[in-house]
Chain A
């Protein structure tokens, strides 16, 4: 196993880019959230945006999602400039954003419902993804009857259900307890291997980023800029439990922590 490759900025060669961010700036009033972001996200991989709070990682994700407009610069998805939300991208929310008045099944099918897919068809698809995330038997429950971890599984199933190429996950496990989070991370690795999708994952947890990511984009705060791109060379084919004891995993976590330490107040 070779050590983690670390190179400056976006000079790392990317064979097949699905999402390209070009010169994106974003300010809220007088606060500069992002400055000059240049990034390529490779197809079929899981890329994490990692950084301390205030580095604009969620803002960047929402710009990619088309939920926020950049002040300057563009985001291209499959060569087309983003001007708003689109069917090729699906978002998973930090606070789950489930409809409290709808059952699990209807929540999972909500993306399809908005697209006008007929009831029978969308329920069938939703049922499949409810099973995929391990919630079979909970189809008729309401969100408040589920634990935090289960609610986020509903959010994930909803995103999978619309069959988008790019999944955008905004700190999806931060409101989930530690045990569920670990299980989730393992599931995500499995999902990444089985589903042919691109994942863009925002997190503030170094361990989480190193554990699940093919690629980690480190952002530095005030204003948010890309400070480093890291590709942890960790073999994720075997038992996911083993990774947490992998020497490269531990070394990479330590390296990133040394780099981020300076931003802790």
Chain B
């Protein structure tokens, strides 16, 4: 990995921290920190249990539905704001507010609106993820060279052709960046939502593990969750790199 232009693999120090964790865990100084090896054993054990598998299916489903909704609504909204100034002026303020507001405060509202179940989690994912997708899509549409749009018009592009063949593709790098950030926020949304609802999916597991002080399992679940979040980010980053071949040449 050349994330910081360094020859030493940038993430290699995580191994160092893992070793340190193991040592500290074995001494037992910090009572909530079991050795990393115990946590890994617990993780292997955990993924075999039906309770984890069920929770994962529930969590993933809520995450995917929420993300699909956020992307499906976010991109058109961003394009609208990028193209129509009046829409931008009217909506821009609210999108900006919600993109940096403490949305965790809204989860209790979601709970009473959507009930103590999966629908609340879906709504939380949607609410956490959509705003950054809107903002990045809007920025992408704004950055399109005016001549590219004039070109399409001068060759008689119909409205669907203008949006489908030019605007959407020209803004694609920013849209993908927005989706990547949206996915990271969506993962936070699903976790915060489940922690607060605490009877669904991973939230219920976290609740059980911490209530019964099963620290190895607690950490194992945390690691799995972190791994998932990083995996999602890395996958999108790879997709971005694949379309970057033209993003760099857009000036």
What residues of chain A have their CB less than 8 Å away from a CB belonging to chain B?
62, 65-67, 84-87, 89-91, 93-97, 99-101, 110-111, 113-115, 142-144, 158, 162
User: Once the chains bind, are A67 and B154 in contact (CB under 8 Å)?
Assistant: yes
A178 to B165 Cα, complex, angstroms: 33
Chain B proximity of A156: nearest CB distance (Å): 13
Complex interface: chain B residues within 8 A of A66 (CB): 154
User: Once the chains bind, are A144 and B248 in contact (CB under 8 Å)?
Assistant: yes
Partner of B166 from the list A62, A99, A111, A115 (CB cut-off 8 Å) is A99
Interface size on B, residues (CB 8 A): 25
User: Once the chains bind, are A93 and B147 in contact (CB under 8 Å)?
Assistant: yes
User: Once the chains bind, are A97 and B151 in contact (CB under 8 Å)?
Assistant: yes
User: Once the chains bind, are B150 and A114 in contact (CB under 8 Å)?
Assistant: no
Q: A87-B156, A142-B246, A162-B155 are in contact. Are A67 and B150 (CB under 8 A)?
A: yes
Chain A proximity of B2: nearest CB distance (Å): 21
Chain A proximity of B86: nearest CB distance (Å): 18
A-B contact count (CB 8 A): 69
Chain B proximity of A80: nearest CB distance (Å): 15
Chain A proximity of B183: nearest CB distance (Å): 23
Which 5 residue pairs are nearest across A and B when measured between Cβ atoms? Answer: A144-B249, A100-B246, A97-B151, A111-B155, A97-B147
User: Once the chains bind, are A114 and B161 in contact (CB under 8 Å)?
Assistant: yes
Instruction: Tell yes or no: B13 within 8 A of A by CB.
Output: no
User: Once the chains bind, are A89 and B246 in contact (CB under 8 Å)?
Assistant: no
User: Once the chains bind, are B246 and A101 in contact (CB under 8 Å)?
Assistant: yes
What residues of chain B have their CB less than 8 Å away from a CB belonging to chain A?
145, 147-148, 150-158, 161, 165-166, 169-170, 172, 243, 245-250
Name the residue on A nearest B250 (C-beta): A100
Name the residue on A nearest B249 (C-beta): A144
Chain A proximity of B156: nearest CB distance (Å): 6
Complex interface: chain B residues within 8 A of A94 (CB): 147
Name the residue on A nearest B157 (C-beta): A114
Name the residue on B nearest A67 (C-beta): B150
Q: A97-B147, A100-B246, A101-B243 are in contact. Are A65 and B154 (CB under 8 A)?
A: yes
Chain B proximity of A170: nearest CB distance (Å): 9
A93 to B172 Cα, complex, angstroms: 22
Complex interface: chain B residues within 8 A of A96 (CB): 147
Question: Which of A62, A91, A100, A143 has the most C-beta atoms of chain B within 10 angstroms of its own C-beta?
Answer: A100
